[in-house]
């Protein structure tokens, strides 16, 4: 139970009377916007909805259910946006982000950004707004980017936009080749794949602490698990070759996955990710996640090799079912960023030929278009594709 004195500064600055179930936030004092000078987007209005705050022990729990109305102030269409939401940057649970892909917002147009986050703020709360919202990055139609990019949102949103263009082009080609009926069959197949994908939860833990603790953790995994070698799915146009890889596996857990990749292109690489697929005892395949390159300052020159991060453990569960037993693993190159900022992703043809499209989740854009088809029908989808 929080005392009157511990809540005093919070009540004065936020205008809240704390109740047992929490109280609505005061719109006038709960949120502050901190957009950088010259930002190409602006906040038009804020609706906090049923956002609430509640004191629990020595912390304030903020459930943000807000909708921001924002405007594209740039001279070209906005394709993606990432916002940073802070209750206190240094405190655990005090930082979150909201990413909005698959946008096509014309200059001068308003658009909604929904925030659905739970944040923590230590008590007593210092003076000032409870939450600060800032911009990490905005991506535009020509792939230009604005923002501090502290969350590496430029790379993430560029990948999303490349996937969106790839998948729209595939659907438009299907429409041209096979007509509305062929497009409809493709959308039905996409919805079927989305429904059939195994529901698997992944709990990731990091081996932390000083080097002796990490060595002990690694030794425990080595004693309790078995070493499983990765099989690699080769994508012909990929700029990297996967040359070796393994992980320590024990039932539904995998530890220290390691994959080595060699740069076979003629350009230096500064980042890459490897898609990780797991096979269980029922011969079902599911995407376990992506393994990023081991260094944030990577400079992988042509002909050289580098590895992925290793200091993590992964525990897989299935909602309502017993945990899967891992029997095999495979990997493929899922994205590459070159030193000049250009990015490579697999083509749609490569995903189909390798049957990866049956395992991977669809892109945010394909999900948006399939939901459009489901909710508004085939003609609405055709009209949407014609906008690009």
- Contact at 8 Å (CB) between 226 and 249? yes
- Contact at 8 Å (CB) between 77 and 107? yes
Domain of residue 174 covers 157-195+366-385
Do 376 and 352 reside in the same domain of the chain?
no
Do 14 and 137 reside in the same domain of the chain?
yes
Sequence-distant (6+) residues with CB within 8 A of 152 are none
Work out the pLDDT band at 58, boundaries 50, 70, 90.
confident
**Rounded to two decimals, what is the model's pTM?**
0.87
Instruction: State residue 210's pLDDT score.
Output: 52
Output the domain CATH number for residue 266.
Answer: 2.60.40
Do 339 and 208 reside in the same domain of the chain?
yes
C-alpha 377/C-alpha 183 separation (Å) is 12
Token pair in block for residue 318:
């299935």
Do 331 and 374 reside in the same domain of the chain?
no
Q: What is the pLDDT of residues 231-271, one digit of tens each?
A: 999 998 999 999 999 999 999 999 999 999 999 999 999 99
Token pair in block for residue 70:
């924002």
- Contact at 8 Å (CB) between 61 and 118? yes
Burial of 231 per CB tally in 10 Å (0-12, 13-18, 19+):
middle
pLDDT at 222 over 80: no
pLDDT at 207 over 80: no
Q: What is the pLDDT of residues 138-176, one digit of tens each?
A: 999 999 999 999 999 999 999 999 999 999 999 999 999
Do 332 and 207 reside in the same domain of the chain?
yes
Do 224 and 142 reside in the same domain of the chain?
no
- Contact at 8 Å (CB) between 133 and 119? no
Over residues 329-347, the mean pLDDT reads 97
Instruction: State residue 21's pLDDT score.
Output: 56
Do 334 and 190 reside in the same domain of the chain?
no
Rg for the chain, CA atoms, rounded: 24
Do 226 and 295 reside in the same domain of the chain?
yes
Instruction: State residue 11's pLDDT score.
Output: 37
Do 333 and 235 reside in the same domain of the chain?
yes
Over residues 86-114, the mean pLDDT reads 93
Do 203 and 163 reside in the same domain of the chain?
no
Work out the pLDDT band at 380, boundaries 50, 70, 90.
very high
Token pair in block for residue 108:
């001068």
Do 333 and 222 reside in the same domain of the chain?
yes
Instruction: State residue 26's pLDDT score.
Output: 77
Do 112 and 186 reside in the same domain of the chain?
no
Token pair in block for residue 324:
């899967």
Percent of the chain with pLDDT over 70: 89
Phi, psi (rounded to 5 degrees) for 196? -85, -15
Instruction: State residue 252's pLDDT score.
Output: 96
Indicate the SS3 state at residue 182.
helix
Phi, psi (rounded to 5 degrees) for 191? -60, -35
Max avg pLDDT among 121-125, 214-218, 245-249: 245-249
The total number of structural domains that make up the chain: 3
Q: What is the DSSP string of 131-157?
A: EEEEEEEEEETTS-EES--TT-HHHHH
Q: What is the DSSP string of 322-368?
A: PPPPEEEEEEEEEEEEETTS-EE---HHHHHHTTGGGTSPPPHHHHH
DSSP state of 105: B
């Amino acid at each position: 139970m929080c005392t009157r004195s511990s809540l005093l500064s919070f009540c004065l600055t936020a205008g809240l009377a704390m109740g047992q179930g929490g109280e609505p936030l005061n719109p006038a004092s709960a949120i502050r916007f901190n957009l950088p000078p010259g930002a190409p987007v602006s906040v038009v209005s804020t609706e906090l909805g049923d956002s609430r705050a509640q004191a629990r022990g020595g912390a304030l729990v903020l459930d943000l259910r807000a909708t921001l109305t924002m405007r594209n102030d740039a001279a070209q269409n906005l394709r993606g946006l990432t916002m940073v939401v802070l209750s206190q940057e240094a405190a655990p649970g005090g930082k979150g982000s909201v990413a909005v892909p698959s946008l096509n917002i014309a200059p001068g147009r308003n658009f909604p950004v929904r925030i659905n986050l739970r944040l923590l703020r230590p008590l007593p709360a210092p003076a000032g707004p409870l939450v600060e919202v800032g911009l990490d990055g905005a991506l535009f139609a020509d792939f230009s980017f604005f923002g501090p990019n502290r969350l590496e949102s430029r790379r993430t949103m560029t990948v999303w936009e490349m996937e969106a263009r790839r998948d729209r082009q595939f659907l438009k080609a299907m429409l041209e080749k096979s007509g509305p009926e062929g497009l409809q069959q493709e959308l039905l197949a996409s919805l079927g794949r989305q429904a059939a994908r195994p529901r698997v939860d992944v709990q990731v833990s990091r081996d932390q602490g000083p080097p002796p603790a990490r060595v002990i953790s690694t030794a425990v995994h080595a004693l309790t698990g078995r070493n499983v070698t990765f099989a690699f799915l080769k994508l012909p146009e990929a700029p990297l070759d996967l040359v070796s890889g393994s992980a320590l596996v024990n039932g539904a857990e995998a530890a220290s996955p390691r994959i080595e990749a060699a740069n076979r292109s003629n350009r230096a690489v500064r980042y890459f990710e490897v898609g990780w697929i797991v096979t269980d005892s029922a011969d079902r395949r599911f995407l376990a996640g992506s393994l990023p390159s081991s260094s944030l300052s990577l400079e992988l020159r042509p002909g050289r090799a580098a590895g992925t991060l290793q200091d993590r453990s992964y525990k897989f569960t299935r909602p309502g079912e017993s945990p899967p037993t891992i029997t095999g693993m495979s990997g493929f190159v899922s994205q590459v960023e070159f030193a000049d900022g250009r990015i490579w992703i697999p083509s749609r043809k490569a995903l189909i030929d390798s049957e990866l499209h049956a395992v991977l989740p669809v892109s945010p854009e394909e999900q948006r278009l399939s939901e459009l088809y489901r909710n508004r029908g085939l003609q609405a989808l055709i009209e949407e594709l014609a906008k690009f």
